[in-house]
Amino acid sequence: MAGTVLTFDTVRKIGLALEDVAESTMYGAPALKAHGKLLACVPVNKSAEPNSAAFRIDFALRAALLKKSPKVYYVTDHYVNYPMVLVRLSRIRPKELRELVGLAWSFAASKKRA
């Protein structure tokens, strides 16, 4: 998919194909919730870079992603204490984005069962 421009609309389309995912808002910005829990959103904190998305994942996975691909994944001081990772949508590949949405969905689903 060379030349594909990924945006939060892409995240939305991927997410809405999953079970029990609904469109929502977070602090007035577009968001997705899975099982009523935040899955992903457009980060509104000014520390996030433009065309980024924030995904709820566990801290261990976040650490692995940050180590593996620091040009794609990042975290700012604002998000460091939350189970979130920020993603530069201009740098992630569509396949990786689909996998990340699935991981965030699994994280939300596991929290529902806990």
Residue 34, domain member (yes or no) = yes
Is 102 part of a structural domain of the chain?
yes
Confidence at residue 35, expressed as pLDDT on a 0 to 100 scale: 87
pLDDT digits (tens, 9 = 90+) for 83-107: 999 999 999 999 999 999 999 999 9
Number of domains comprising the chain: 1
pLDDT tens for residues 45-81? Answer: 999 999 999 999 999 999 999 999 999 999 999 999 9
Residue ranges of E strands in 1-114: 21-26, 29-34, 37-41, 52-56, 73-74, 84-88
Q: Of 41, 37, 8, nearest to 20 (Cα)?
A: 37
| CA–CA gap between residue 49 and residue 87 (Å, rounded) | 9
Q: Is residue 3 part of a domain?
A: no
In a domain, 2, yes or no: no
Alpha-carbon distances of 25 from 57, 83, 96, 102, rounded to whole Å: 18, 18, 24, 19
What is the reported pTM?
0.92
Length of the chain: 114
Structural domain includes residue 45? yes
